[in-house]
Amino acid sequence: MRYVIDHDLHIHTQLSSCSQHPQQTPENILRYALENGLTTICVTDHYWDETIPGASGWYAPQNTAHIRQSLPLPQAEGVRFLFGCETELSRDCVVGVSKARFDELDFVIIPTTHLHMTDFTVTGKETAEERAALWVKRLDAVLAMDLPFRKIGIAHPVCGLIAPTRQMFLETLRLLPEAELERLFTKAASLGCGIELNASDFGFPEAETETVLRPFTIAKRCGCKFYCGSDSHEPDEFRDVIQRFNRAVDLLALTEDDKFLPF
């Protein structure tokens, strides 16, 4: 059976510092789910646990008390509304969520590809070769951690923020070694974490298809499971996400057997 688009597990509210849109509220997010027939959604505001040292100046205000302002989440019949977060992986490969805090969160997405945060995740001077090495190193570090992987998502593996230009972004993806991709995604599959189909990542032109899809096709071949994430920061961004999810499903020929959900 073809993969059914019935969820969105990466959504920001106005609490995320990169959003702050007054209409990006839990109530409007729930409305988006109802209008599109989604049965599971998750709010994933940016978060750094204040008990973990090393937060950047941008992340520090986005602490536990801050993201809890969304609670209690609004409810509607037929929709499961989860409370999660998008944390960060620092340059030293520290994840910004403590073990104790995982129990309070339904889902935690970890971005290993935020290679744009100068002096926090990168120096900012890395070449394409160095960024490809970081792509491998950072995902490897997460998969080696003692985490509750059944509620962990690897956010946007082909995020445009991997490099400062599109040309370098594509070159970085091309430089990812096939053997390393197979090793990492085989491990991810065995641990049971989810791999994100990020709507923003699936707006690429046809000419880039082979390059952008390569990590996903290898992940599928290795047995990984996938979830959809709009990564929406404001209401207008919901407009074409279902279309992009469908594009991802069609390009990868995904079925229900390829689906990840954190429960």
82 φψ region: left (φ > 0), alpha (ψ -120 to 50), beta (else): beta
Nearest C-alpha neighbor of 161 from the set 194, 135, 195, 133: 135
Structure tokens at 160: 């445009």
Does residue 99 contact residue 55 with C-beta atoms inside 8 Å? no
- Count other Cβ atoms within 10 Å, centred on residue 69: 11
pTM: 0.97
Q: What is the pLDDT of residue 234?
A: 96
H or E, element range at 46? strand 40-46
Does residue 62 contact residue 17 with C-beta atoms inside 8 Å? yes
* Complete edge-to-edge strand list for the sheet that includes strand 107-111: 7-11, 40-46, 80-86, 107-111, 152-155, 194-198, 225-229
Q: What is the pLDDT of residue 31?
A: 97
Largest CA distance in the chain: 50
Q: What is the pLDDT of residue 193?
A: 98
The span from the first CA to the last CA of the chain, in angstroms, equals 21
Q: What is the pLDDT of residue 20?
A: 86
Structure tokens at 57: 């100046």
Does residue 237 contact residue 230 with C-beta atoms inside 8 Å? yes
Does residue 15 contact residue 233 with C-beta atoms inside 8 Å? no
- Count other Cβ atoms within 10 Å, centred on residue 188: 24
Q: What is the pLDDT of residue 37?
A: 97
Q: Give domain 7-258's CATH number out of 3.30.70.1290, 3.20.20.140, 3.40.390.30, 1.10.1740.10.
A: 3.20.20.140
Nearest C-alpha neighbor of 115 from the set 174, 179, 189, 173: 173
Residue owning tokens 């997010």: 29
φ and ψ at 89, to 5 degrees? -115, 115
Does residue 227 contact residue 192 with C-beta atoms inside 8 Å? no
Q: Using CA atoms, how far apart are residues 230 and 207, in angstroms rounded to an integer?
A: 23
Domain spans, the chain? 7-258
pLDDT by position in tens, the chain (length 263): 999 999 999 999 999 999 989 999 999 999 999 999 999 999 999 999 999 999 999 999 999 999 999 999 999 999 999 999 999 999 999 999 999 999 999 999 999 999 999 999 999 999 999 999 999 999 999 999 999 999 999 999 999 999 999 999 999 999 999 999 999 999 999 999 999 999 999 999 999 999 999 999 999 999 999 999 999 999 999 999 999 999 999 999 999 999 999 97
Residue type, 155: A
